[in-house]
Structure 1
Amino acid sequence: MIELNLPDMTCGHCASTVAKTVALVDPAAKVDVDLQTKQVRISSNEDRKDFEDALTDAGYPPAQ
């Protein structure tokens, strides 16, 4: 399970974009977006860094 904090995710549109970005990295990934806590949980065999890079490119860099 990959857990990321995305401080720039503030609305439903952001959450949708995050979910779509995760799907671009791994179409089979299961993603749970919690807008209230700005947390994203991803169940995937892909590398965490691939998701971090894709989300950063989409405008949602994970907090370190």
Structure 2
Amino acid sequence: MVAFEVKDMTCGHCVASVTRAVQAVDAQAKVQVDLAQHRVEIETGSAPLQALQAAIEDAGFTPVPV
């Protein structure tokens, strides 16, 4: 599992955007988002951390690995 802190994720639309971005890289990824804590946890089998981070950045957010 990989986790990111995404401070600029502030609403349900943001959650959906981050989830779509991650699943575009790994369609089988399980994404759990805690909006109050600005935390995204991803269970992935195939995508490296850098690819997931880049996908979230491309969606307009600033993920920081935790």
Under TM normalisation by the shorter chain, which class is it? over 0.9
Partner-residue secondary structure (3-state), 1:19: helix
| Residues 1:54 and 2:55 are matched in the alignment | yes
Q: May I ask how many residue pairs the two structures share in their alignment? A: 64
TM-score scaled by length of structure 1: 0.94
Partner of 2:13: 13
Q: How much does 1:38 deviate?
A: 0.4
The alignment-based identity, stated in percent, is 39
User: What is the Cα-based RMSD across aligned positions, in Å?
Assistant: 1.0
Q: Over residues 13-50 of structure 1, what are the superposed CA-to-partner deviations in whole Å (9 max), with x where a residue is unaligned?
A: 00010111111010000000110000000000210000
Unaligned runs of 5+ in 2: none
The TM-score with structure 2 as length reference comes to 0.91
